[in-house]
């Protein structure tokens, strides 16, 4: 299995990206292709005393930043690490592609370079989030600000497969984000989605309210990309804010500093539990290949986890299963 990695994407590229790739190669039985500035990549490999002959390096001269139009960048920057990496995936020269770069560019590249799976109208960005009782998927988290009910059903179908194959859930629970638990709650859109999900073969457990989402009891939480993106960011923002305030307060006196020291194992355990990178990045489900968007602030460990996620996806045959399932649905529904 060969994993293609955009060495130039993310806040700490290429250093942390390459370090994560080295760690993953030591841990998993995989081949790795690093795409980016050869000299800078080699510098990190040397500094880390890694055997550079074990890594395929594809040299590129351009980088897509967060501050440019994703669609234009994907079209024009033919020699960017992102475009070249995605082309390798498309051409079968790799089994998965990972980038911590611009989310917009990954979405655009997913559509225009990798391409959609036949029958999937809108691929979804699906992060795996830490819940109190276990990880859960939120989709779509921002690929499609506006959705049709058919898209939501497909999100459920794809999330169900990922949840089974990668998160090892036997019969994933699918829930629809809504502002009340009853079927008749919400907007015209959520009401239609409810009906469609209820009639599907999914293990649809009904509406899920914002308050229940962090419990992690619903394995696949589906909604339009606007709602999902807001949820994802509020989730991160509230957690960050709470920790910032606690940290500030703990450092404010000798007594609380000692208390903070004694609670170090608690905070460490907690951090691990609430670590967004523990289960890898956000997977772009619905494109014809395994594409993972790692967090922009990814360190080596986060990249390693994203690579692990890619390995599990490829081994589990997630993309192939989605293809089969969608074909089956389309046959049934004409």
- In the complex, least distance from residue 206 CB atom to a copy of itself, rounded to whole angstroms: 16
Q: Please identify, using beta-carbon distances, which residue of 91 and 184 lies nearer to a copy of itself.
A: 184
- In the complex, least distance from residue 150 CB atom to a copy of itself, rounded to whole angstroms: 18
The dihedral of CA 271, 276, 278, 279: what is its sign? positive
- In the complex, least distance from residue 160 CB atom to a copy of itself, rounded to whole angstroms: 22
Residues interacting with a copy of itself, by CB under 8 A?
Answer: 131-132, 142, 145-146, 177, 179, 186-188, 190, 209-215, 225-227, 229-242, 244-246, 249-250, 252-253, 255-256, 258-263, 265-266, 269-270, 273-274
Q: Please identify, using beta-carbon distances, which residue of 199 and 209 lies nearer to a copy of itself.
A: 209
Q: What is the CA radius of gyration of the chain?
A: 20
- Percent composition of the chain: helix, strand, coil (DSSP 3-state, to 5): 50, 15, 35
- In the complex, least distance from residue 128 CB atom to a copy of itself, rounded to whole angstroms: 16
- In the complex, least distance from residue 306 CB atom to a copy of itself, rounded to whole angstroms: 21
The whole-angstrom separation of Cα 288 and Cα 268 is 38
Q: Please identify, using beta-carbon distances, which residue of 1 and 230 lies nearer to a copy of itself.
A: 230
Q: Please identify, using beta-carbon distances, which residue of 4 and 139 lies nearer to a copy of itself.
A: 139
- In the complex, least distance from residue 174 CB atom to a copy of itself, rounded to whole angstroms: 17
The whole-angstrom separation of Cα 223 and Cα 126 is 11
Q: Please identify, using beta-carbon distances, which residue of 183 and 212 lies nearer to a copy of itself.
A: 212
- In the complex, least distance from residue 251 CB atom to a copy of itself, rounded to whole angstroms: 10
CA distances from 166 to 8, 51, 154 (A): 27, 30, 18
Nearest residue to 88 via CA among 52, 113, 51, 55: 113
Q: Please identify, using beta-carbon distances, which residue of 30 and 213 lies nearer to a copy of itself.
A: 213
Q: Please identify, using beta-carbon distances, which residue of 89 and 302 lies nearer to a copy of itself.
A: 302
**Burial tier of 243 (Cβ tally within 10 Å: 0-12, 13-18, 19+):** middle
213 CB-near residues (< 8 Å, 6+ apart): 131, 136, 138, 177, 221, 231, 235
């Amino acid at each position: 299995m060969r994993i293609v990695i955009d060495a130039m994407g993310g806040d700490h590229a290429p250093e942390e990206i390459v370090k994560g790739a080295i760690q993953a190669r030591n841990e998993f039985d995989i081949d790795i292709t690093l795409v980016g500035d050869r000299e800078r990549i080699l510098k990190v490999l040397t500094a880390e005393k890694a055997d550079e002959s074990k890594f395929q390096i594809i040299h590129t001269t351009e980088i897509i930043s967060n501050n440019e139009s994703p669609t234009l960048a994907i079209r024009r920057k033919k020699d960017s690490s992102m475009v070249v990496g995605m082309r390798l995936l498309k051409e079968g020269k790799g089994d998965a592609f990972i980038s911590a770069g611009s989310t917009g560019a990954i979405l655009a590249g997913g559509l225009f370079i990798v391409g959609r799976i036949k029958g999937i109208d809108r691929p979804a960005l699906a992060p795996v989030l830490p819940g109190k009782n276990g990880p859960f998927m939120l989709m779509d988290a921002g690929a499609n600000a506006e959705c049709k009910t058919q898209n939501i059903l497909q999100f459920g179908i794809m999330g169900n497969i990922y949840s089974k194959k990668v998160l090892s859930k036997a019969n994933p629970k699918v829930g629809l984000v809504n502002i009340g638990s009853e079927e008749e709650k919400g907007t015209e859109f959520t009401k239609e989605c409810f009906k469609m999900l209820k009639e599907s073969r999914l293990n649809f457990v009904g509406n899920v309210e914002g308050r229940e989402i962090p419990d992690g009891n619903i394995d696949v939480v589906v909604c339009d990309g606007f709602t999902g993106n807001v949820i994802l960011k509020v989730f991160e923002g509230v957690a960050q804010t709470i920790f910032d305030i606690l940290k500030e307060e703990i450092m404010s006196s000798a007594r609380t500093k000692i208390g903070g020291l004694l609670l170090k194992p608690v905070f460490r355990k907690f951090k691990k539990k609430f670590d967004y990178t523990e289960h890898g990045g956000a997977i772009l489900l619905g494109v014809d290949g395994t594409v993972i968007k790692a967090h922009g602030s990814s360190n080596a460990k986060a990249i390693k986890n994203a690579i692990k996620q890619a390995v599990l996806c490829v081994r589990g045959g997630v993309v192939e299963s989605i293809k089969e399932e969608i074909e089956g649905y389309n046959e049934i529904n004409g």
